């Protein structure tokens, strides 16, 4: 199955997508009382932005993703960082019942889903996961900021105008990061039997160079929409021309961590 995160897009994702600040890992650890006896699942793990740094805090991490190129880079990142307690599994949210049969009931302390729930059937998934959590374990739905072209800044608005014109489409999807989506997910957690549903926000500002900004855009374009390698310099130059004449672009990042626990 390919979803658009293959080939060069996976490489751009690994190189340019923001990781998560340590406070996000602290929040996850505190929410579920994670410790070195625990097994956690990172569903839609991508190139390991959450799975890899989580590994040092628990006994074992299972990273699941349907995109082989993302998994390959996650494994590479783990190996490069000396992480040896992560297992990488090709699969999707629809494989959770089968995975439950493998790991057994009450085996997981947490399932974290970072920037990926909008690809999944979340109502079913939340219900299917409940028997797999140990007491006090549960789900964390993490959103890592707002897409680069939907932010409240002059450079972001310029970027959006350029991309909409280039691709001939309106760019409105917030990929699960918008407040309405977060509310929907919170309600679904409650309806599936999770308790103590709450959102914790971790906010910070960071600066991006124009190359980082362009790399971030490439990491979000579906593989079949990415300009051919020979056309990328011209595409990048057109983005540069569309932006205000600054050397650095300030991004305000709001990481939202929505958690719900099983009693």
Ligand X SMILES: C[S@@+](CC[C@H](N)C(=O)[O-])C[C@H]1O[C@@H](n2cnc3c(N)ncnc32)[C@H](O)[C@@H]1O
Chain residues in the site for ligand X (CB under 6 A):
3, 5, 17, 43-46, 49-50, 65-67, 70, 92-93, 114-116, 119-120, 144
Which conformational region is residue 250 in: left (phi greater than 0), alpha (psi within -120 to 50 degrees), or beta?
Answer: beta
Nearer to ligand X, 49 or 256 (CB): 49
Closest residue to ligand X, judged by C-beta, is 46
Nearer to ligand X, 114 or 137 (CB): 114
- Least distance to ligand X from the beta carbon of 199, Å? 16
Strands 39-43 and 108-114, bridge-based pairing: parallel
Distance CA 222, CA 240 (A): 21
Nearer to ligand X, 51 or 262 (CB): 51
- Nearest to 92, CA basis, from 66, 68, 114: 66
- Least distance to ligand X from the beta carbon of 185, Å? 15
- Least distance to ligand X from the beta carbon of 60, Å? 18
- Least distance to ligand X from the beta carbon of 19, Å? 8
Distance CA 63, CA 152 (A): 33
Distance CA 220, CA 240 (A): 17
For the chain, give percent helix, strand, coil, nearest 5: 45, 25, 30
Nearer to ligand X, 118 or 240 (CB): 118
- Least distance to ligand X from the beta carbon of 233, Å? 25
Q: What's the first-to-final CA gap in the chain, in angstroms?
A: 36
Nearer to ligand X, 5 or 149 (CB): 5
């Amino acid at each position: 199955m390919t979803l658009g995160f293959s080939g060069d897009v996976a490489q751009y994702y690994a190189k340019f997508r923001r990781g998560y600040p340590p406070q996000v890992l602290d929040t996850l650890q505190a929410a579920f009382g994670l410790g070195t006896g625990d097994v956690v699942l990172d569903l839609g793990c991508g190139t390991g932005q959450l799975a890899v740094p989580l590994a040092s805090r628990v006994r074992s991490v299972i990273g699941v993703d349907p995109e082989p190129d993302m998994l390959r880079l996650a494994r590479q990142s783990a190996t490069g960082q000396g992480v040896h307690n992560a297992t990488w599994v090709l699969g999707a949210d629809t494989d959770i019942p089968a995975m439950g049969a493998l790991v057994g009931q009450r085996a997981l302390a947490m399932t974290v889903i970072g920037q990926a729930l909008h690809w999944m059937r979340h109502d079913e998934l939340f219900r299917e996961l409940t028997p797999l959590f140990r007491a006090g374990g549960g789900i964390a739905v993490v959103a890592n900021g707002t897409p680069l072209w939907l932010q409240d800044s002059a450079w972001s608005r310029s970027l959006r105008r350029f991309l909409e014109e280039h691709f001939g489409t309106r760019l409105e999807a917030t990929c699960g990061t918008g407040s309405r989506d977060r509310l929907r997910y919170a309600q679904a957690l409650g309806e599936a039997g999770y308790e103590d549903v709450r959102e914790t926000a971790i906010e910070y500002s960071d600066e991006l160079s124009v190359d980082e900004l362009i790399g971030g855009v490439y990491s979000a374009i579906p593989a079949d929409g990415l300009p051919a390698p020979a056309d990328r310099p011209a595409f990048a130059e057109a983005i540069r021309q569309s932006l205000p004449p600054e050397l650095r672009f300030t991004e305000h990042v709001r990481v939202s961590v929505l958690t719900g626990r099983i009693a």
